[in-house]
Amino acid sequence: MSSRLYHLPLTLLALVPFVSGHGYVAQVAIDGKDYYGNVPNANPVPSIVRQIDDVSPVKGAANPYLNCGQDAQLASLVANANPGSQMQFWWKGGDGSNWPHNIGPIMTYMAQCVSMTCDQYNSTNAEWFKIEETGLQPGDMVWYQQNIMNGGPSNVTLPPTLAPGQYLVRHEIIALHLANEMGGAEFYPSCTQVNIQGDQSDVAPASAEVTFPGGYSDTDPGIYDPTIFDTPVQYTFPGPPVVSFAASGSDTSSPTSSGFSSTSAGAPTASPTASSSGSGSGGQCRLGVGQATFALQPRRPRSVSRVMRRWWESMVGSS
């Protein structure tokens, strides 16, 4: 039996969850201008991305860190953006490798920094409205999060008619590889500080705004999902619908190549190539067609522990 342990199939090893992967937003670009985030819990440098202190996921929909991430601190910079600006978010694993997860939605919210600049704004009571949500690629088998795992960015178009002012952009990945168990969902929110210029006039109605925590429940079908590994996937986004004036303007990417290259200083350099797909507006996930194509993944088992147990029993039984 012991000799067989050294021949554990790679496909089975791939089912074992990442223990220390996790991650954070390492870089943001606005209309092609790059801004770098800080490594969690490192000595900070000036940035527009609020620094978190831990790459581990936020767990539980009532967790106060659901707002901007693990003990997120005010960032010292605010970047100018225009109505309709293109933002790109590059996620990295905690060890500097690619983002480690590929199951679950990507969503983006905004909240105005009321009565002060965003570098001074405490977001505890911020009112967030959703500007995009991205789930499954055509065929409902592969998540767009897989593209981030492949090293590409997530693209977001800021609403073209949003009223000017300073805003937090809350870009969030929810990893659902453990979501078939209550409380298993992993939340990865990140907040970026921007100043929207122009003379537009649209503002989100109160009915479209939520707080974090408060915007989600652990029992929401898009957060607790016993059928998450059934294919084709039937998925319902949590949170409010995409605000009406953003629904036609959001543009979430399906990148086709890695967005990072290393420099001598260790800072990532963007080289994005992306095609675009439509954004949903709540309800079940049915997104527009992206140009990138990816191999469809086989149906995954409902429980990694169940697979391991059956494999172990078969090894013991045949020894």
Query: What's the confidence (pLDDT) of residue 36?
Result: 97
Mean predicted lDDT score pLDDT of the chain = 79
Evaluate the CA torsion angle 139, 145, 150, 152 in order and state its sign: positive
Average pLDDT on 160-181 reads: 98
Query: What's the confidence (pLDDT) of residue 235?
Result: 97
The two tokens of residue 174 are 């929810």
Instruction: Tell me which of 169 and 260 has the higher pLDDT.
Output: 169
Average pLDDT on 217-226 reads: 97
Which amino acid is present at 46?
Answer: P
How far from 76 is each of 5, 192, 193, 269, CA to CA, in Å?
51, 11, 9, 21
Residue 97 neighbours by CB under 8 Å, 6+ apart: 21
Q: How do residues 110-152 score in pLDDT, each as one tens digit? A: 999 999 999 999 999 999 999 999 999 999 999 999 999 999 9
What percentage of the chain has pLDDT greater than the value 90? 71
Residue 21 confidence class, pLDDT cut points 50, 70, 90: low
Average pLDDT on 299-303 reads: 33
Q: How do residues 33-59 score in pLDDT, each as one tens digit? A: 999 999 999 999 999 999 999 999 999
Q: How do residues 76-96 score in pLDDT, each as one tens digit? A: 999 999 999 999 999 999 999
pLDDT at 287 over 70: no
Residue 246 falls in which region: left (phi positive, over 0), alpha (psi -120 to 50) or beta: alpha
CATH code for the domain defined by 27-211: 2.70.50.70
Query: What's the confidence (pLDDT) of residue 310?
Result: 40
Q: Note whether 274 and 153 are within 8 A (CB).
A: yes
Whether this model's pTM surpasses 0.85: no
Q: What is the dihedral of CA 159, 156, 242, 277, to 10 degrees?
A: 110
The two tokens of residue 254 are 């399906």
How far does Cα 84 stand from its chain's mean position? 20
How far from 42 is each of 36, 38, 54, 244, 304, CA to CA, in Å?
13, 7, 10, 39, 34
d(C-alpha 174, C-alpha 67), whole Å = 13
Look-up: residue for tokens 């905690």? 94
Query: What's the confidence (pLDDT) of residue 248?
Result: 53
In the chain, where are the structural domains located? 27-211
Please tell me the total number of residues recorded for the chain in this structure. Answer: 319
